[in-house]
Amino acid sequence: MQFYSLEKLINLHDGYRKQIKIDHHNLLLIQNGDTVSLLESLCPHRGHPLSVADISSNKLRCPLHGYEFAIATGKLLHYSEEPCRALKIYELSDQGNELGVWL
């Protein structure tokens, strides 16, 4: 496994979003309130980019078909067509002043 730096801790703030591609991983780094999360950046339903998703009450809502996912767990909370799998959630790690992920 290798550590990939995603962002400096000082740059994070409520409402922060950054889409990142590392090898075959499409990732979305977000901060919602005091919580920073790293999840896959494409909706598992139809692959729509979640970088433009609505975020509220610790839920992420895909703008294409309204699928809702729990940010903390990736669990599918609401769907408008057929159900899909949960969002992949990645564990964040910090090294010094850098926030990153081990892949």
As given in the structure block, the two tokens for residue 88 are 């992949």
Backbone angles phi, psi at 58, to 5 degrees: 65, 25
The reported pTM is: 0.93
- Return all residues near 42 (Cβ < 8 A) that are at least 6 apart: 26, 48, 49, 50
Per-residue confidence in pLDDT tens, the chain, 103 aa: 999 999 999 999 999 999 999 999 999 999 999 999 999 999 999 999 999 999 998 999 999 999 999 999 999 999 999 999 999 999 999 999 999 999 9
DSSP string across 17-67 = EEEEEETTEEEEEEEETTEEEEEESB-TTT--BGGG-EEETTEEE-TTT--
